[in-house]
Amino acid sequence: MNLSQTIPVLLLGTSLAVLSPQVCPALTIQEVASLAQASSDLPVVKSAGLSPDINVPWSKTVRIVDPFEGEFIGVFDRNSLGGYLYREGSKQVLSLWTPSSIRVLVTVNSGEARSSFYTAGRVYPRPDFIRFVTTKKVDKLLLKVREKVFQLDGSTGTFAVSQELATALKNAPDENLNIRLVLEGGQTVDSEIGKGTVKAWRNIY
């Protein structure tokens, strides 16, 4: 192998990158191969999109292979607020943490009274409520890491990760982390990021 050639590899803690011996002289070929193998062993998620019915490994480092955004690593987190997940009025906070961004989605379970429905010429009984889920736009994200509060402004629920924030997340204490979401219109939602996700940040950042 010509050592002057660049070696593409997916690194834990970075997005898809290209390494060369000139940039990382201390990184041996064996270490590069080991890092590539570690990333290939991760569970694969085929979309970076967040939705109310998303089905992914929660609080685990995953390899995301998105047809529009490319390949990178991340960790998904979910927290249910207001009691039972499907109870009317309960909220769910979904988030995706990647090396470059944080995505957040807030969903609200709602109900509409219905006693029956009509189809094919017959009337059938229906439960008291039809359940449906609505989503809320998140304009601001506040995170408290140790004693420092980071306030992030974003659009469509996506927030950029600075180097300072990445370092803080990587070194966050091994415990649940408090976040506050400011929704469109000014409503606030306080939630937590689970300890399992916090641990996974050490692989992401």
Helix, strand and coil content of the chain, in percent to the nearest 5, comes to: 15, 45, 40
Residue 155 three-state SS:
strand
Q: How many CB atoms lie within 10 A of CB 144?
A: 13
* pLDDT value at residue 41: 87
CB 146 within 8 A of CB 154: no
DSSP 88: T
DSSP 43: P
Q: How many residues does the chain have?
A: 205
Backbone phi, then psi, for 53, in 5-degree steps?
A: -105, 20
* pLDDT value at residue 5: 44
Residue 30 three-state SS:
helix
Listed residue (89, 71, 68) closest to 14, CA to CA: 71
Q: How many CB atoms lie within 10 A of CB 23?
A: 10
DSSP 186: S
pLDDT digits (tens, 9 = 90+) for 44-60: 999 999 998 899 999 99
DSSP 67: T
- The Cα 183–Cα 193 span in angstroms is 18
CB 79 within 8 A of CB 194: yes
* pLDDT value at residue 95: 98
For each successive 10 residues of the chain (205 residues), what is the average pLDDT?
42 39 47 55 95 94 96 96 63 96 91 50 53 86 96 93 97 96 93 97 97
* pLDDT value at residue 119: 52
* pLDDT value at residue 132: 72
Listed residue (173, 164, 165, 167) closest to 195, CA to CA: 173
